[in-house]
A = this chain, B = another copy of it.
Amino acid sequence: MAARDLQERIKKLIVDRRLPSGAPLPTEPELMRFLGASRNSVREALKALQAMGIVEIRHGFGTYVGPMSLAPMIEGLAFRTVAGHYRGEDSLLQLLELREAVETGLVSRLAGRLPERDLSELTALVDRMDRQAEQGAGLAETDRAFHATLYRGLDNALLSEVLEAFWDAFHRVQRDLVVVPHDPWVTCRQHREILDAVRSGDSIRAEEAIRDHFGHVRARLAPVDTTDPQDPTRATMSAYDR
């Protein structure tokens, strides 16, 4: 029995029965009977679907319909970027430019259209960035929240998820791969400028602010590190070394 068919038939089973995220799937023996395949085949099909985020397997408990998040996309993008990076490609830069290209376009549509509620939330986030910079703490999570809150105003959950996925993939790779000596105060100032520009409703200025922000990150990215992860004298610590 073709393993490819098994995956398709399990997917069909989910849509046919209108199973929502979190709904329990038939147990492995039941799937074996239903699909007419052995345990190995069923398990391999489930593993593949799990990798795609379509099903969720909880040890000793059961299999369930997955959260349908874009987590697999993050994994795939991140690995693709890491592999390309070590092969000497500028894959990390490309990922950053992808974010820049998309976000510059989106922020101009947002300018002047954000409700006061979101604006004040963004203000609070930038304020928190200031405090974190003062304490020398990392402000990655706050940066993530800022971008997420900003594009929430576009009122498209899928779009928000995609942007967050791009953010996650980029920062995961950046954290594992390169040393970025960045000045937190510059980051704070740039986010405040983005916020001010959006609040003022000036599309051009908002685009410019986003471009400045990404340009700053890009500059810190220039001296890419492509040392061999097998080389014990390497300067960075990759997640793939564990």
Partner of A54, one of B47, B68, B79: B79
Q: What 0/1 readout, one digit per residue, does chain A (205-223) give for beta carbons within 8 Å of chain B?
A: 0000000000000000000
Q: Is A229 an interface residue (CB 8 A)?
A: yes
Contact B72 A238 (CB under 8 A): no
Contact A18 B52 (CB under 8 A): no
Q: Is A116 an interface residue (CB 8 A)?
A: no
Contact A11 B104 (CB under 8 A): no
Contact A76 B79 (CB under 8 A): no
Contact A72 B76 (CB under 8 A): yes
Partner of A101, one of B83, B109, B229: B109
**A80 to chain B: closest residue by CB:** B68
Partner of A83, one of B68, B75, B156, B242: B68
Chain B hits for A58, CB < 8 A:
none
* Cβ of A106 to closest chain B Cβ, rounded Å: 6
Chain B hits for A202, CB < 8 A:
none
A15/B70 contact (C-beta < 8 A), A52-B51, A98-B162 known? no
Contact A53 B68 (CB under 8 A): no
Contact B101 A76 (CB under 8 A): no
Q: What 0/1 readout, one digit per residue, does chain A (52-92) give for beta carbons within 8 Å of chain B?
A: 11100000000000001010110110011011101100010
Q: What 0/1 readout, one digit per residue, does chain A (3-41) give for beta carbons within 8 Å of chain B?
A: 100001001101110101000000000000000000010
Chain B hits for A137, CB < 8 A:
none
Chain B hits for A50, CB < 8 A:
48
* Cβ of A84 to closest chain B Cβ, rounded Å: 8
* Cβ of A217 to closest chain B Cβ, rounded Å: 16
Q: Is A197 an interface residue (CB 8 A)?
A: no
Contact A156 B15 (CB under 8 A): no
A229/B15 contact (C-beta < 8 A), A76-B70, A97-B159, A156-B97 known? yes
Q: A-side interface residues toward B, CB under 8 Å? A: 3, 8, 11-12, 14-16, 18, 20, 40, 43-45, 47-54, 68, 70, 72-73, 75-76, 79-80, 82-84, 86-87, 91, 94-95, 97-98, 101-102, 104-106, 108-109, 154, 156-159, 162, 229-230, 238, 240-242
